[in-house]
């Protein structure tokens, strides 16, 4: 969960005032908005987008919930646990409404899209429900919600063409920035709610992506992370994802380019070559495997076999020097047997991912799996399977980190380490967090590249000292 303040430097050339009352800028000028974000990086990027859109109409950033006129909770629906957290949070926020009856409390993002009825029923004090394709109307909708007392203001219409071209998301200064290059998803994995909450896949025009990358480079960001649900299936007219990378590589100031999340079989040889050829493109890829049983993959409708996945990993490791890989795994998908689970565990052990995000299957409404399959793996078994792969993966991650001890790594410094202000933290080219003591003369700052001699590690962090 994180928060974004607003900015005041965006343009909205496509304002669409149809449907609700026109904006009343006088009413909203200076009104303070607080945005709290749950879920994926796409959601964090969307919060920045909302911040930019609202700032253009005169809203300002609230430093805290207490001083805000508007609180927006930008939500995630991918698993039930994310949803539960948001409902918990909303009931907590009711207290702010008691203290300030004028406060507008809004729910945006994937849960808004998917659960509008449930939100209205379980949290009737919510004033505003806005889905991921309705953010350009957010200023009007908030203004409307400020006026109305009875029913919540709702806009959850999906819009197949909406890519928010021309807006400038509010980005806090830093070392890395996100740029959304694709919205929606067309894959329809049977477990996944995203196509229902974010609509169909569409690419952001390449010139818009380049404009945003140039903007962030001018502001001093060193790293860009390109975002899309299946980012490497990006397409815009004749431009594919490899072409898009080629357009970003030459931008002055952008020294590292990363992207997430790719879809395994949409890695073309051309794309692998492009990644291998450019130092700017990070040697770290997230490659969601989900399962290593062909039967389960088929029921998940993942469109690849275990053999194809393994072949891809091998080709990538051959061609991209020093490649680090992470993955997503779901345990306890409907019908997953002990043996099928064991296949997943065995392949994880064999492929040795640097890192893995591991989940228990969670039934999501509207998905094919929810409609057609029984959620038949008992919770206790799901838990057991999850614990067992987490423990194994921890060991693998630690061993991979240990293998770096004694090497020197180039680190892009991000700032003070979370735990200790006397230390700095940054990332290697293959995405490993690296922590080292801050030099006494304070000569190093965020955005610098430094060489760090690695002397120790934990399972996820390299520890070291400045080289030389």
Straight-line distance from the first to the last Cα atom of the chain, in angstroms, rounded to the nearest whole number: 38
Per-residue exposure over 349-382, b if at least 16 CB sit within 10 Å of its own CB, e if not: eebebbbbebbbbbebeebebeeebebebeeebb
From candidates 28, 54, 71, 78, binder to ligand 5AD by CB under 6 A = 78
Report the candidate in 410, 409, 466, 407 with the shortest Cα–Cα distance to residue 439: 466
From candidates 330, 411, 413, 454, binder to ligand 5AD by CB under 6 A = 330
CB-wise, 191 or 436, nearer to ligand 5AD?
Answer: 191
Residue 356: beta bridge partners? Answer: 327
Scanning residues 79 to 108, which ones bind ligand 5AD (CB under 6 A)?
A: 79
Contact between 289 and ligand 5AD per CB under 6 A: no
Distance from C-alpha of 212 to C-alpha of 335, rounded to nearest angstrom: 45
CB-based contact 20:172 (threshold 8 Å): no
Window of 69-77, 246-254, 275-283, 358-366 that interacts with ligand 5AD by CB under 6 A: 358-366
Window of 126-134, 154-162, 355-363, 392-400 that interacts with ligand 5AD by CB under 6 A: 355-363
Contact between 254 and ligand 5AD per CB under 6 A: no
CB-wise, 60 or 326, nearer to ligand 5AD?
Answer: 326
Window of 111-119, 178-186, 360-368, 407-415 that interacts with ligand 5AD by CB under 6 A: 360-368
Contact between 135 and ligand 5AD per CB under 6 A: no
Contact between 370 and ligand 5AD per CB under 6 A: no
Contact between 328 and ligand 5AD per CB under 6 A: yes
Task: Name the CA dihedral angle for 10, 16, 20, 26, rounded to a multiple of 10 degrees.
Answer: 40
CB of 41 to ligand 5AD, least distance (A): 10
From candidates 362, 388, 459, 461, binder to ligand 5AD by CB under 6 A = 362
CB of 391 to ligand 5AD, least distance (A): 19
Contact between 192 and ligand 5AD per CB under 6 A: yes
Scanning residues 27 to 56, which ones bind ligand 5AD (CB under 6 A)?
A: none
From candidates 364, 385, 404, 438, binder to ligand 5AD by CB under 6 A = 364
Report the candidate in 359, 334, 326 with the shortest Cα–Cα distance to residue 79: 359
CB-based contact 230:187 (threshold 8 Å): yes
CB-based contact 259:225 (threshold 8 Å): yes
Alpha carbon of residue 234 to chain centroid = 16
CB of 356 to ligand 5AD, least distance (A): 10
From candidates 359, 401, 427, 432, binder to ligand 5AD by CB under 6 A = 359
Q: Which residues contact 358 (CB under 8 A, 6 or more apart)?
A: 328, 329, 331, 386, 389, 390, 393
CB of 89 to ligand 5AD, least distance (A): 20
CB-based contact 257:224 (threshold 8 Å): yes
Contact between 290 and ligand 5AD per CB under 6 A: yes
Contact between 196 and ligand 5AD per CB under 6 A: no
**Helix, strand, coil % over all residues of the chain, rounded to 5:** 35, 25, 40
Scanning residues 150 to 169, which ones bind ligand 5AD (CB under 6 A)?
A: none
CB-based contact 209:177 (threshold 8 Å): no
Distance from C-alpha of 274 to C-alpha of 277, rounded to nearest angstrom: 5
The residue ranges that bind ligand 5AD (CB under 6 A) are 78-79, 191-192, 288, 290, 328, 330, 359, 361-362, 364
């Amino acid at each position: 969960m994180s928060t974004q303040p607003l900015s005041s430097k965006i343009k909205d050339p496509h304002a669409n005032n149809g449907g609700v009352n026109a904006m009343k800028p006088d009413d909203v000028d200076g009104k303070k908005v607080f945005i709290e974000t749950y879920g994926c990086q796409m959601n964090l990027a969307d919060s920045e987008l909302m911040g930019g859109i609202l700032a253009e109409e005169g809203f300002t950033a609230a430093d805290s919930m207490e001083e805000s006129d508007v609180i927006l909770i930008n939500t995630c629906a991918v698993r039930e646990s994310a949803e539960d957290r948001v409902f918990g949070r909303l009931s907590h926020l009711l207290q702010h409404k008691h203290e300030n009856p004028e406060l507008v409390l809004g729910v945006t993002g994937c849960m808004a899209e998917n659960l509008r009825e449930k939100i209205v029923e379980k949290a009737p004090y919510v004033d505003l429900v806005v889905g991921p394709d309705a953010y350009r109307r957010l200023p009007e909708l908030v203004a409307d919600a400020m006026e109305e007392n009875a029913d919540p203001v709702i806009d959850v219409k999906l819009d197949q063409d909406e890519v928010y071209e021309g807006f400038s998301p509010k980005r806090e200064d830093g070392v890395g920035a996100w740029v959304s290059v694709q919205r929606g998803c067309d894959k329809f994995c049977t477990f996944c709610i995203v196509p229902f909450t974010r609509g169909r896949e569409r690419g952001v025009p390449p010139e818009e992506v380049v404009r945003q990358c140039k903007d962030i480079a001018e502001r001093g960001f060193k790293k860009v992370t390109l975002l899309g649900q299946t980012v490497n299936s990006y397409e815009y007219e004749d431009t594919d994802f490899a072409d898009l990378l080629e357009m970003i590589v030459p931008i002055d100031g952008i020294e590292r380019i990363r992207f997430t999340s790719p879809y395994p079989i949409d890695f073309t040889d051309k794309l692998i070559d492009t990644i291998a050829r450019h130092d700017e493109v990070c040697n770290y890829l997230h490659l969601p495997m989900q399962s290593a049983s062909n039967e389960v993959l088929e029921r998940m409708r993942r469109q690849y076999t275990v053999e194809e996945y393994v072949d891809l990993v091998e080709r990538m490791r051959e061609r991209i020097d020093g490649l680090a890989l992470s993955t997503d795994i779901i345990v306890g998908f409907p019908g997953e047997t002990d043996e099928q689970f064991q296949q997943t565990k065995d392949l994880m052990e064999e492929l040795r991912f640097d890192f893995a995000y591991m989940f228990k299957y969670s039934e999501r409404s509207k998905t094919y799996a929810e409609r057609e399959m029984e959620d038949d793996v008992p919770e206790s078994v799901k838990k057991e399977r999850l614990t067992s792969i987490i423990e194994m993966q921890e060991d693998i991650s630690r061993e991979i980190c240990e293998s770096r001890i004694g090497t020197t790594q180039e680190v892009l410094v991000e700032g003070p380490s979370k735990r200790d202000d006397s230390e700095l933290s940054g990332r290697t080219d293959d995405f490993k967090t690296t922590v080292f003591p801050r030099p006494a003369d304070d000569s190093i700052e965020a955005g610098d590249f430094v060489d760090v001699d690695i002397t120790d590690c934990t399972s996820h962090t390299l520890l070291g000292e400045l080289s030389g």
